Amino acid sequence: MLDHRLDHEYEDLRRTVEQFANDVIAPKIGDFYEAGEFPYEIVKEMGRMGLFGLPFPEEYGGMGGDYFALGLALEELARVDSSVAITLEAAVSLGAMPIYRFGTEEQKREWLPKLTSGEMLGAFGLTEPEGGTDAGATRTTARYDAETDEWVINGTKCFITNSGTDITGLVTVTALTEPITRSSEDGGEPSPSREISSIIVPTGTPGFQVSKKYSKVGWNASDTRELSFTDCRVPAANLLGARGRGYAQFLRILDEGRIAIAALSTGLAQGCVDQSLAYAGTRRAFGRPIGANQVIQFKLADMEMRAHTARLAWRDAASRLLHDEPFKKEAAIAKLYASEAAVDNAREATQVHGGYGFMNEFPVARFWRDSKILEIGEGTSEVQRMLIARELGMTY
């Protein structure tokens, strides 16, 4: 019989993170959020708990867990706050995971122990000002200098999470390493293509400039910045994986990352249910709790339905990943449904709270501000629908 219940190890992890989120994050995060400050003390505690090492082997300082465990942690964090959750998500799936998936043994041993402990944060420099959804339209270049055996990087990246904190140690950058020509798959005339590679750039490298923090609508307690590279030189050994495989690498990383964002979105959607349920039981109007009104009950029922379904979706995609089964379509479905569920639940939670839902001291106001980006980051909703259609065979 199919059993969707968590085994005791997963459930213990979920409960531990739930308690941490409620006891440590919830009382403090509002102040960090409104001040636009990165919560270093909370991140340090997350490191001590081993959250940054959840899906990595113990030989690299990890906890020996898996991507499902990461999803559970992200969901529980996001039930309370998404800035903290996205800091973990980006550090693991975008910062450390590319090195684990594609790095040499030397690169893994140099970087992963610090990344998995939370002592250092990594970032992934993919998006560019004129690229956006078209991630393949990379303009950043990396020229190989044979005399010095170095890559010389020039270009700009934008919207990069965890790229400018005091504990950021590296950014993995996608760059155009050489224009090349390949024959088209259908055997027709040769079509121009471009060689994109991934290169590790340590912070503090000359020519690597980190801009000031963005003024954002949400995720205000997380770090997001623009990066620029001007004749930035790094050793040739900093190439991540094979030259020219950068595009394929980040497609794999984004597929996995969509599961993580779906789990985070599910947490935000469930947090909206939690907050609205509590408020509906205590807020009185016309002589009785507002939760006694069927219109509020139906709103809560729909919100719970969305959160529950989103949870099933991301867990299904994560299970397929862990069993080495195709998961691209399921990851896109999970990310699409969960992100839209988060936006819908945040809107309804604000409505349930009325005027108080528009006040920043109430968590649902923060949830409302944080939810929209979930339909954009790691591939917009439109991109997810495109991917699903392709996986259905609609390629004519």
Give the residue numbers annotated as catalytic, written as ranges.
378
Please state, in angstroms and rounded to a whole number, the distance separating the CA atoms of residues 280 and 268.
18
* Whole-angstrom distance, CA of residue 76 vs CA of residue 50: 15
**Size (the chain), residues:** 396
Find tokens 């005791």 and name the residue: 8
| Residue 14 CB coordination number (10 Å) | 16
Placement of tokens 């910045």 in the chain = 225
- The amino acid occupying position 247 is Y
Give the position of tokens 């706050």: 81
Kindly give the residue spans of alpha helices, DSSP state H, lying in the chain. Answer: 8-20, 29-35, 40-49, 67-78, 82-89, 97-102, 105-117, 246-282, 294-322, 328-353, 363-371, 381-391
Rounded Cα distance, 282 and 349, in Å:
15
Torsion on CA atoms 72, 18, 284, 351, rounded to nearest 10: -30
Beta strands in 162-248 (DSSP E): 168-183, 190-202, 208-213, 224-235, 239-240
Which 8-state DSSP code applies to residue 157? Answer: E
Query: Beta partners for 171?
Result: 123, 201
H/E run at residue 153: strand 150-161
Cα 342-133-374 angle, rounded to 5 deg: 10
Residue with tokens 């010389």: 152
